[in-house]
Amino acid sequence: MKKAFTLPTCKTCVRIFEDLQPEQHGCEVVDIKSEGISAEDLDRMKALAGSYEALFSRRAMKFRSMGLADQTLTEADYRKLILEEYTFLKRPVFLFDDRVTAGSAKAAVEEARAAL
């Protein structure tokens, strides 16, 4: 299984996808805004990443506007927030059988490149 989760309006995601071209490597591309994130996919990501927090984006504008920065969030909170609002998923996410990479950090992109 190879899946790539992205937001097509995100310039960083577009740049990374133009570079990696996941579709040409047999990756199913998932638009998280229009298609959403399934609980099954999110739970698989968590199993490989170690936590929902590792998949959670604190850069999302809603993080501060919802007052989440002032709260102590649990794993259950992170899971619920990501499933309810696509913007909380750190992106892009590349999900493979044996690993997951999340975010646009150079190390994450290089790990995704190697896995493709």
* 26-42 average pLDDT score: 96
Buried b vs exposed e over 44-59: b needs ≥16 C-beta within 10 Å?
bbbebbeebbebbbee
CATH of span 2-115 = 3.40.30.10
pLDDT at 46: 98
**pLDDT-above-90 percentage for the chain:** 91
pLDDT at 64 over 90: no
* pTM, rounded to two decimals: 0.93
Question: One-letter amino acid identity for 112?
Answer: A
Domain boundaries, the chain: 2-115
What pLDDT digit, counting tens, does each position of 12-31 carry?
A: 999 999 999 999 999 999 99
